[in-house]
Structure 1
Amino acid sequence: MSTSLRTVAEHQQHVAGLLVPDGPAASGPGRPPTETVDLDAARGRVLAAPVHAPEPLPAFDNSAMDGYAVRAVDVAGATAQQPVTLPVAGDVPAGAALTDLAPGTALRIMTGAPVPRGADAVVEVEVTDGGTDVVRIDAAREAGRFVRPAGSDVSAGQQVLAEGALLGPAQVGLLAALGITRVVVRRRPRVLVVSTGSELAEDPVPGAGQIRDANGALLAAAVAEAGGVAVRRLWVADDVPAFLALLDSELAGGDVDLVLTSGGVSAGAYEVVKEALGPRGVEFVKVAMQPGMPQGSGLVGGVPVVCLPGNPVSALTSFEVFVRPALRRAHGHPVPHRPVLRVALTEPLVPLAGKRQLRRGRLDRAAGTVTPWGPAGSGFLGWFAGADALIDLPPAGAPLNVGDEVEVWDLASG
């Protein structure tokens, strides 16, 4: 491999260094910025502070079954051959106020309803005749059976979620059950997405030689999927003064944590990003990776800037490799990387000499295999849209045969 090429690992480390929590986007040493959100907006967010239960869960003793609240002593020894019969003093539906159970009686009770004072067991309806005035009970039940005591799930004051926890449906449900309606979370990184190229059309119907801006849409979607928020999507023609004027105007607002550009970073003419940002200290390098060899990164006005190639496949692959893990780590996501699996190839592959190659693939999880999906070139966005994995081929490896194991990045998980 040429010494002029940076390795993938080296460039990953460089980009991550721009976006670490104690970097330019942080609100204090080692601390990502935070915000308070309503619970209905909390799914997928990362907690910025631990959560302690303000009350026990459940808040009161309640029934785990539909059946009859009883005193265990009143049904001791009951069997199908020698059942116990008790008068039914009433019903206790879910949501009812706490009531009392007189000795020698039963109360019909529903799942989740408060266990009456004096009752210490619940007999499930399946071992009774279901009576409403008098009930026949065919089995004994010891004290505590089918009673969920107050605080048996969560005790008051207990830490239920740690700082850095990712809020999924179960975590949101727990917070709701505890009456917590707002939580402090890490603020999502705010990303300015800039597409460059005079060939890009703003008109829905491109003119001759023009194309629609796929990169702006796919990178904004990738940012959101990684836990960030694309604050704006911009398009800039191949004009250095215009590009710099627009960038300076956007950064002056102070609400951008990362600038993500696509296009204008290669070795040809009209490389607007390279021409504009190189003199400002952004470093442009070649990475030993296919697709996505030309890359740029640095700080402009203290704001991290990552410059990706203009081909949509190269841009998205580069985002997966360099930006996504750094972006997730920057706001404290507990799982910054895609899951990596070892599976068997269904077709032979030959790794590239001198470059780490990321081939699109389709996983068969049941069979534990991956099938290369489409040609290896970087101009096949349609094939990428049908892939759910990236096959990670090391540079200059030996030819791979059917059945050989390879590492793949699972794009459908994590």
Structure 2
Amino acid sequence: MKNILFKLTGVAFFLGLTACQEKLDSGNNNSLATVPAVYMSADNTSISFAKSTQSGSTNFEIRLSNLRDRNETITISAVDFFPEYNKKNTTTYKMLPASEYKLVEKGNASNSSTNGSLTVTVKPGQTSVQVDVEVNPLNEDTYPMGIKYAIPLRIVSSSLPILSKKDVIVTLNRPFKTSVPKIKQGYALGLKLADNIEASEEFTVQGLFLYEKFHAYDGVHVNMSLFQGAMLPYTRIDAGKIQVKNGGGDSPDDWAITSDIAPMKWCQITFTYKDSFLKLYINGKLIKTYQRPSLKIEPGMRINIENTQTSYSATRYFREFRIWNRVLTDAEIIDGLYLPADPDSKGLVAYLPLTEKEGCKDKSHYDNTTIYRKGTSRSNSGIQDGGQFVKDIDESEFISKIEWKENVKFPAQGLETEE
């Protein structure tokens, strides 16, 4: 009987410890009051740089679960947990070298480090300590904008138990400057996908545009379209709205209304497709979901990125056309609004960065072919339906019709430059 009671008591004690740990590690601060432990107050924080030539800073907080009557020491360190994190979250973060930033205990400037590791002390009567992260100006040649650099920090040792909430990711909101082509009315690009691309019934297609105006071919109606080809239904874009057709006719349900499509405003248009659901995002926001069966990307497919007929097009700025053979997550879409894409991004099958340095050539790892197109009509009005109103031209002729805008600044709502 004594053995039974002893075993039951042991089981109860073990279950009590387990329950206590579950309560301790729940992330609910109200339940952390009974057992002392240490954890990060947030999973991530971001550094915003005022200019591309300037440094940036942010801070994060390391917290104790309750007040202590003695000093508690905690060591944080840069730990490259990105391979596992990226796989789990479909991200592409790469660790920024410790030589490019400094860790400083807030309120104690003498306690700082440039080797990616810092030990701090939480004094009696305190429940937290803040750590400043100061990042140097980052050279774009050394740290390309298309690679998502970040700082992964972890609580690696402590005089108290460490909860599972032990990591913080410091992301970098880096402004940058680039050249952008201004493409004249009656000219547009296309793309022929390489023959070695695998067919896929799910995809993401993106383009970033700034329209000077939306041209009405008859003084009233606008017939400017995007991403023409078997990959997507026919689209029309106009100020404040976009249409995704479903067959030959027009329906009110085809239209989506958004103030993000406006003259002289940058507009990133993203379509994702999977299981017959076609989702439309404008500047990272999900605007509308359509049902459109049997869409796909295929090897050798031709995509006319914009309408080329003279009366159906308008002068605009255009950069960063991209195609993936997978659906990007909402976080990935937002993360890639303005920054260049990483050519090594999973599933990226076509990529036109559109800079004066790179021209209009595809920079993906596939041998895609850029197509240069011209509207053949001299008139900028009237109905111009049919293939006879457009033709393919040489690269040199197309490039001669481009006006490159230098030092265009991102992120920005409109066309901004920074010398």
Fold conserved (TM > 0.5)?
Answer: no
Choose 1 or 2 for highest CA Rg: 1
- Normalised TM-score (structure 2): 0.19
TM-score by length of 1: 0.19
Give the helix-richer structure, 1 or 2.
1
